[in-house]
Amino acid sequence: MSVSILVGSQWGDEGKGKVVDILSSKYEVVVRYQGGANAGHTIEIGDKKYVLHLIPSGILREGVICVIGNGVVIDPQALLDEIKFLNDQGIETKDRLFISHNAHLIMPYHKLLDKIEESGANKIGTTGRGIGPCYKDKYDRRGIRLVDLLNRTELERKIRQNLEEKNNVLKKLYQHEELDVEAIIQEYCDFDAKIDSYITDTTSLLHKAMEQNKSVLMEGAQGALLDVDHGTYPFVTSSSPTSGGACTGTGIPPTKIDSVIGIVKAYTTRVGNGPFPTELHGDEEEKLRKLGAEFGATTGRPRRVGWFDSFLVRYSRMINGIERVAITKLDVLSSFSEIKVCIGYEFEGKELKYFPTDNVKLSSVTPIYEVLPGWNCDITEVKNFNDLPKQAKDYLAFISEKCGFEISIISVGPKRSQTIEL
């Protein structure tokens, strides 16, 4: 039995979908532990492209059991759309997908408030999927969970109670029209009818699987620098994508975890607002975004792009306990004659010893770069590490040494087949 955690090591969009898909062939259970439909995991198999937001990409491997853990927040419509999409592709979800009864539900007022709050002074650049307001209600102990769907009286009571307050806020604070209580109750009852058979006590299910010596992969969404505690607060998501979040988001204790695998993009991207020391502007920015097809899988927004930041990833390795990594999108750098890697930051004339998560400080640092030669050739068909050009191998060795981890997977294109395993 092995239990591993897979984390995004930067600001999300590192290519977790593809890596989970590759690793799923070695695991029997894949469980997602936080976030919601703000994530977008893209997987290309043959000539088919799958974009998943909530369901772990392990669902694309026959026989793999997929779990949505208690730490995830669930948008009913997004979930139903995804189940339908998979079923239409001939991928079975019955008896393969299990959703925690303790997971919280995203309600229509969460999505609405997310959008309204974003139009105010505190602009985070959220995905507008209701994530922050839903987690807010969870910690405020007024959230509605999947288990509530199983008890209609309780469900109705909770929706009415919540809506009384939310409608008050919508009307008095935001001069917005009230939401229709009866329609929402009906909507969630209809959802229950379709989703009931997937809801279960996933904590017990996962422990039973481990007792049976099954291997479990715990999949995080977003990335470590978007972690509400360890990320670039306030420009973060409202959950814990770091490896620590895997335990609370699933009920699997730390003593069961064997390894933490990091996913690292060969350069850096960020969506939404907040500091980004190695961000590119102008022609190089356009070139990198275009080559990397850096547009959000969930919102379609152009992602901000920049050079690889080993100072940031080293911090990420430290807080996550990452031992080995999968490097993704190495092929995207193939046409750059020089590639920069950030190896540290200067702040007020001094080199910093530690990565500053403080938003104001991080906004004023100057990155210190090392310039490496590019390889200037196509690597998308390379299958063995030894066949990579010397400059690409040197680039990987450099970032591996600077960040302090081993590289075990290299992705040189979006397809399953474009993967080098070491």
**24 — phi, psi (to 5°)?**
-60, -20
Residue 126 found at the interface with ligand IMP (CB under 6 A): yes
Given 19, 29, 30, 39, the residue binding ligand IMP (CB under 6 A): 39
Query: With contacts defined by CB under 6 A, how many residues of the chain interact with ligand IMP?
Result: 20
CB of 415 to ligand IMP, least distance (A): 21
Given 102, 125, 321, 323, the residue binding ligand IMP (CB under 6 A): 125
Given 144, 199, 271, 392, the residue binding ligand IMP (CB under 6 A): 271
Instruction: Please give the residue whose beta carbon sits closest to ligand IMP in the complex.
Output: 272
Given 45, 51, 124, 352, the residue binding ligand IMP (CB under 6 A): 124
Q: How far apart are CA 186 and CA 200, in angstroms?
A: 22
- Catalytic, 283? Answer no
CB of 44 to ligand IMP, least distance (A): 18
Write the CA distances from 173 to 37, 106, 114, 153, 159, integer angstroms: 27, 21, 14, 30, 20
Q: Which of residues 204-233 bind ligand IMP (CB under 6 A)?
A: 221-222, 226
Which span sits near ligand IMP by CB under 6 A: 121-129, 248-256, 363-371, 383-391? 121-129
Which span sits near ligand IMP by CB under 6 A: 125-133, 281-289, 308-316, 364-372? 125-133
Structure tokens at 264: 């690292």
Please answer whether residues 155 and 149 qualify as being in contact, where contact means their C-beta atoms are separated by less than 8 angstroms.
yes
Structure tokens at 95: 């008896």
Please answer whether residues 70 and 109 qualify as being in contact, where contact means their C-beta atoms are separated by less than 8 angstroms.
no
Residue 129 found at the interface with ligand IMP (CB under 6 A): yes
Given 220, 272, 292, 367, the residue binding ligand IMP (CB under 6 A): 272
Q: What is the DSSP letter of 389?
A: -
Q: How far apart are CA 408 and CA 385, in angstroms?
A: 10
CB of 228 to ligand IMP, least distance (A): 10
Residue 266 found at the interface with ligand IMP (CB under 6 A): no
Q: Which is nearer to ligand IMP, 131 or 247 (CB)?
A: 131
- Catalytic, 41? Answer yes
Q: What is the DSSP string of 299-328?
A: T-PBPEEE-EEHHHHHHHHHHHT--EEEEE
Q: How far apart are CA 359 and CA 347, in angstroms?
A: 13
Structure tokens at 74: 């669930």
Structure tokens at 5: 């955690």
Residue 302 found at the interface with ligand IMP (CB under 6 A): no
Q: What is the DSSP letter of 106?
A: P
Given 238, 310, 328, 334, the residue binding ligand IMP (CB under 6 A): 238
Strand-strand pairing, 41-45 and 65-68: unpaired
Please answer whether residues 261 and 5 qualify as being in contact, where contact means their C-beta atoms are separated by less than 8 angstroms.
yes
Residues carrying an active site annotation: 13, 41
Binding site for ligand IMP (CB under 6 A): 12-13, 38-40, 124-127, 129, 131-132, 221-222, 226, 235, 237-238, 271-272
